[in-house]
Amino acid sequence: MQAIVNPTGCLRQIFPEGDIVAVTDDAPLGSEAASHGLRYVSLDNVATLPAGSNVVLFLSHHLISKKIRALFKHHRVLVVPIASFDGTSEAARYTLRMTLLTDYLKAAETATYWIDGLRSKAKKIVFGSLDALGEGSEATNLVCSLGPSLTVDAWPHAEIRVGDWVSIGSCCELSITKQPSSIGDDIFSMEGTVHASGVLAARDPRCTKAGDARIRRAHRLRAEMTDLGSITLSLKGNVLVSARAGGKEFTEELLDVTNPDHNLQALELGIGTNLGLLPNVDWRHNSQLNEGAGVMHIGFGEGITGAHMDFIIPESDHYFLP
């Protein structure tokens, strides 16, 4: 894995001036951050920070809440919601390292490129080769039809200002989402085959009791699929009809952990903007920083009544079509 020569070098793209403080609810992770040159302050001592502080907030044991967010209303904040994915010490240390290695300027430039491409009135995005359309599943071959109600969640800037609360996800990916109740292709619809290297399982802070049970099963399923290597997904009419890895079919299990009521409808088309991380990515980790390191990812489930599961496609050509 690439060594972190000057961690504040990348974070200076976000916070040009002043100390950069790592605030976390996990003391060992705080010590790790300090070893990389950041100033560690525990979550319990946030009130000691002067207004306008530059904060990287690593939440290993707490989900994001209004109460936590209110503590930082006078600061500049990059929030890394580790507990939403995997709050174990190993995953937390890995996420910290990937946060420090991220090139935020390059990610912002890539996000701007994609936003401009979507604004060009493209009706479709093809991932894979235009010559291979309809020729089977040996390579990624996915057509994403874009609808008139499409909206994009991204942070196509580097610098964070006082009062900004910016998720690491918004910095490192461009996300197009739809609600489970959405009908038709007014936002997007996917058709074709992709080959994923990484899988993530995440929870929303609003997770229900039934959702929590499904998410626990999703973590075990994620680990099993990741150990098997490349995962082949086939979608028809924006619905996942097959998920295979290591010669085994996982479709029914994915239907269970993401909530069967959603029928494996794809709810997120994610575009990775943090591609520079790719040589350093370890797909074994359930870390949000892996999400933006691939060219694109597809999400199922909403993280509330069942797991939100992302499948990350690390490499693929893409084309905007009218």
Question: Phi then psi for 295, rounded to 5 degrees?
Answer: -60, -40
Question: Phi then psi for 111, rounded to 5 degrees?
Answer: -60, -40
Helix (H, G, I), strand (E, B) or coil at 318: strand
- Give how far the C-alpha of residue 221 lies from the chain's centroid of Cα atoms, to the nearest Å: 18
Asked whether the predicted pLDDT for residue 303 surpasses 70, the reply is: yes
In the chain, what percentage of residues exceed pLDDT 90? 86
What is the arithmetic mean of pLDDT over 104-112?
A: 96
What is the number of other CB atoms lying within 10 angstroms of the CB of residue 36? 16
Residue 318: strand pairing partners: 127
What's the CA gap between 226 and 202, in Å, rounded? Answer: 15
What proportions of the chain, in percent to the nearest 5, are helix, strand and coil? 30, 30, 40
Asked whether the predicted pLDDT for residue 29 surpasses 90, the reply is: yes
CA distances from 235 to 123, 137, 213, 225 (A): 18, 11, 26, 18
What's the CA gap between 300 and 306, in Å, rounded? Answer: 9
What is the pLDDT, as a whole number, of residue 5?
53
Taking Cα atoms as reference points, which of 290, 293, 198, 280 lies closest to residue 1?
280
Query: pLDDT tier at 197 (50, 70, 90 boundaries)?
Result: very high
Mean pLDDT lowest among 48-52, 126-130, 161-165, 200-204:
126-130
Domains of the chain in sequence order: 7-101 (3.40.1360), 119-150+173-321 (no CATH)
What is the arithmetic mean of pLDDT over 35-58?
A: 96
Average pLDDT of the chain, as a whole number? 94
- Give how far the C-alpha of residue 86 lies from the chain's centroid of Cα atoms, to the nearest Å: 13
Asked whether the predicted pLDDT for residue 234 surpasses 60, the reply is: yes
* Residue 303 or 150, more confident: 303
What is the arithmetic mean of pLDDT over 275-288?
A: 95
What is the pLDDT, as a whole number, of residue 107?
96
Count of helices and strands (H, E) across the chain: 9, 17
What is the pLDDT, as a whole number, of residue 185?
79
**pLDDT for 121-169, tens place per residue?**
899 999 998 876 554 556 899 999 999 988 888 889 889 999 999 999 9
Question: The tokens 């300090």 sit on which residue?
Answer: 34
pTM of the model: 0.94
Q: What angle is formed at CA 274 by the lines to CA 268 and CA 278, rounded to 5 degrees?
A: 105
In the chain, what percentage of residues exceed pLDDT 70? 95
What is the pLDDT, as a whole number, of residue 1?
60
What is the pLDDT, as a whole number, of residue 58?
98
290 within 8 A of 312, measured Cβ to Cβ: yes
What is the pLDDT, as a whole number, of residue 7?
60
What's the CA gap between 82 and 28, in Å, rounded? Answer: 14
Q: Which tokens hold the place of 204? A: 């929303």
